[in-house]
């Protein structure tokens, strides 16, 4: 039987989530958001700007209230 899940070593190698208050500006970040049911990570990189969050790929504004961040994993 095969289980489709990341190996323990790859999970441990990922940076831990950081509080959103410490998010740096002008860097690709993975964001965690809470909806009415659960916590989710966005599937695209975001950047914090002086005016709020944007999608790093499209430069479009992203109307979210993230709770945590970590560096975007480009190998992912």
SS (H, E, C) 22-72: HCCCCCCEEEEEECCCCEEECCCCEEEECCEEEECCCCCECCCCCCEEEEC
Q: What is the pLDDT of residue 4?
A: 45
**Average pLDDT of the chain, as a whole number:** 83
DSSP state of 14: S
Q: Are 48 and 25 in contact (CB under 8 A)?
A: yes
**pLDDT (tens digit, 9 = 90+) per residue, 38-69?**
888 999 999 999 999 999 999 999 998 999 99
φ, ψ of residue 29 to 5 degrees: the values are: -130, 150
18 or 12, higher pLDDT: 18
Which H or E element spans position 11?
helix 8-13
Residue 5 confidence (pLDDT) above 70: no
Among 5-9, 27-31, 45-49, 72-76, the least confident range: 5-9
pTM, two decimals, is: 0.76
């Amino acid at each position: 039987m095969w289980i489709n899940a990341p190996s323990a070593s790859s999970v441990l190698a990922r940076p831990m989530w950081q509080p959103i208050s410490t998010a740096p500006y002008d860097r690709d970040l993975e964001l965690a958001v809470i909806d009415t049911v659960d916590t989710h990570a966005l599937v695209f990189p975001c950047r914090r700007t002086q005016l709020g969050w944007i999608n790093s790929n499209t430069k479009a504004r992203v109307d979210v209230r993230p709770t945590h961040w970590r560096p975007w994993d480009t190998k992912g």
